[in-house]
Amino acid sequence: MKENDVILRTVTRVVVFIILTFGVELFLSGHHNPGGGFVGGLVLSSALVLLYVVFDIETVHQGVPFDFRKIAAFGAMVSLLSGTGAAVLGKPFLTQGFGYFDLPIFGLTELATVTIFEAGVALTVIGTVVTIILSISKDV
């Protein structure tokens, strides 16, 4: 079955970048504004899902050559291990720390360990969502 999806393909090429940017923005702004690791990861994975829907799996795989199962595992590992640092320092497991640093370009910036934890969350979400969708669609 030949489908005419020129418009979809053309729009996707542009829109995917907007979605990806939005996802990263959501992820980073989560500390003070709406967003965070979970929804950021979801938006990022929805961009990938859009790519998979519009183009075929092989084409996308050439551009994004990751094994998403490993990404999910890595993410879960990161959020698990990010808590052990606190445990080693004698604080309860998963205690998060934060501080304000004067960085060269950014000026006074807040850095928080919660970002590492949230990165793990985001990676797990991306990995899991894409794994589920890929394994279902591959089976067709």
Partner 1 sequence: MYAVFVIFLPFIMAALLPAAHRLLGDRLIGWYVMAVPLILFAGLVRLIPRIADGEVVAVSYAWIPDAGIDLAVRVDGLGMIFALLITGVGTLVALYSIYYLSPRESLGHFYVYLLLFMGAMLGVVFSDNLMLLYTFWELTSISSFLLIAFWYHRKGSRYGAQKAMLITVMGGVSMLAGFLMLYFMTGTFSISEIIGMRDTLAGESLFVPAMFLILLGAFTKSVQFPFHIWLPDAMEAPTPVSAYLHSATMVKAGIYLVALFTPLFGGLDAWFWSLSIAGIVTLLWGAFNAMKQNDLKALLAYSTISQLGLIMSLLGFGSAALSADAAGNPTVYAAAGFAALFYLLNHSTFKGLLFMVIGIVDHEIGTRDIRRLGGLMSFMPVTFTFAVIGSFSMAGLPPFNGFLSKEMFFGAAVDIASGQPFAGGAEVIFPVIGWLASVFTFVYCTIIVYRTFLGPVQPEKIDRAPHEAPKGMLVAPGILAALVILIFFFPNVVGKYVIGPAMQVMFPALSQEANLVPKIEAWHGFNLPLLMTFGVIALGLLLFITFRHWKRIYRVAPFRWTMDSIYRWLLQTGEAGSTILTDLYMTGRSRDYFVFIYLFFLVAAGGMFFLTGAYEPDFSTGPVGIFEISFVIIMAFAAIAMLFVRSRITATLLNGVLGYSVAIFFVFFRAPDLALTQTVIETVTTVLFLLCFHFLPEWKPEDSPLRTKVVNGMIAIGAGTLVTAFGLTVQGYDVYESISSYFEDSYKLAGGSNIVNAILGDFRAFDTMLEVVVLFIAGIGVYTLIALKPKKGGDDIEGK
Nearer to partner 1, 12 or 120 (CB): 120
Nearer to partner 1, 8 or 96 (CB): 96
CA atoms of 137 and 67, how far apart (whole Å) = 16
Nearer to partner 1, 61 or 69 (CB): 69
Minimum distance between the CB of residue 106 and partner 1, rounded to whole angstroms?
A: 16
Minimum distance between the CB of residue 68 and partner 1, rounded to whole angstroms?
A: 9
Question: Rg of the chain's alpha carbons, rounded to an integer?
Answer: 18
Write out the residues near partner 1 by the rule CB under 8 A: 26, 30-39, 42-43, 45-46, 49, 53, 69, 72-73, 75-76, 79-80, 83, 93-94, 96, 98-99, 110, 112, 114, 117-118, 120-121, 124-125, 127-129, 131-133, 135-140
3-state secondary structure the chain: CCCCCHHHHHHHHHHHHHHHHHHHHHHHHCCCCCCCHHHHHHHHHHHHHHHHHHCCHHHHHHHCCCCHHHHHHHHHHHHHHCCHHHHHCCCCCCCCCEEEEEECCCEEEEEECHHHHHHHHHHHHHHHHHHHHHHHHHCC
Minimum distance between the CB of residue 105 and partner 1, rounded to whole angstroms?
A: 21
Minimum distance between the CB of residue 31 and partner 1, rounded to whole angstroms?
A: 4
Nearer to partner 1, 12 or 127 (CB): 127
